[in-house]
Amino acid sequence: DDIRVRKAANMGIDRVAGVNVLDEGDGDLGGLMPPTGQWAFPKDELLTRPGYRPDKAAELAEAKKLLAEAGFPDGFRTPLLVRSSSENQNLGVFVQAQLETVGIKATISIEEVAAFTNSMERRAFATATWAHAASLDDPDQIFGEHYISGGGRNYQSISNPKVDELFVKQSRTLDVAERKK
């Protein structure tokens, strides 16, 4: 639950490598919204954010420093819950290797879809991989489902009243430019 640990794990994952390895280079780097839609975070801004910055060596050094500050100077071990499909298992192996670069040693635990979903819904995991697709290019679907308090797939239990308030405000706004603000 330490934000420094979460940030370190985030910074340990090389997303460009992810596109190259998992999508065989046939993909776009993106944030929480689909990278080619109208709601995509501008790429020049995305590349300034932790986990997306192009200087991975600096990111890894910062991540290790954050782990040390959080009380894990030598990293730590964690189980990594992975859904049992070849695509998700590949993602799990990739994330496992990426976390290792900052000292987080993940042991993969594969569960078939129903058991995996049950574990996610019960929050019965320490670390998990999760990939989702968006059927709509709209923040109501992605944020409403995954990132606001009580969202149906908010498996990490994010709860921030200010974010919830901003989400509702943008959802009620019809003007796209205003929603983007």
Could you report the per-residue pLDDT of 22-34, keeping only the tens digit for each? Answer: 988 888 888 888 8
According to the model, what pLDDT value does residue 129 have? 94
Distance CA 114, CA 111 (A): 8
According to the model, what pLDDT value does residue 136 have? 81
Total-model pTM:
0.88
For 37-71, letters b (16+ CB in 10 Å) and e give eebbbeeeebeeeebbeeebeebbebbbebbeebe
Distance CA 103, CA 93 (A): 15
According to the model, what pLDDT value does residue 180 have? 87
User: What are the pLDDT tens digits along the chain (181 aa)?
Assistant: 899 999 999 999 999 999 999 988 888 888 888 888 888 888 999 999 999 999 999 999 999 999 999 999 999 999 999 999 888 999 999 999 999 999 999 999 999 999 999 999 999 999 999 877 777 888 898 889 888 999 988 888 889 999 999 999 999 999 999 998 8
Distance CA 132, CA 119 (A): 17
**Contact between residue 149 and residue 156 where contact means Cβ atoms under 8 Å apart:** no
Strands across the sheet containing 76-83: 104-111, 76-83, 127-128
Amino acid identity of 75? G
According to the model, what pLDDT value does residue 165 have? 95
According to the model, what pLDDT value does residue 164 have? 95
According to the model, what pLDDT value does residue 131 have? 79
CB atoms within 10 A of CB 165: 11
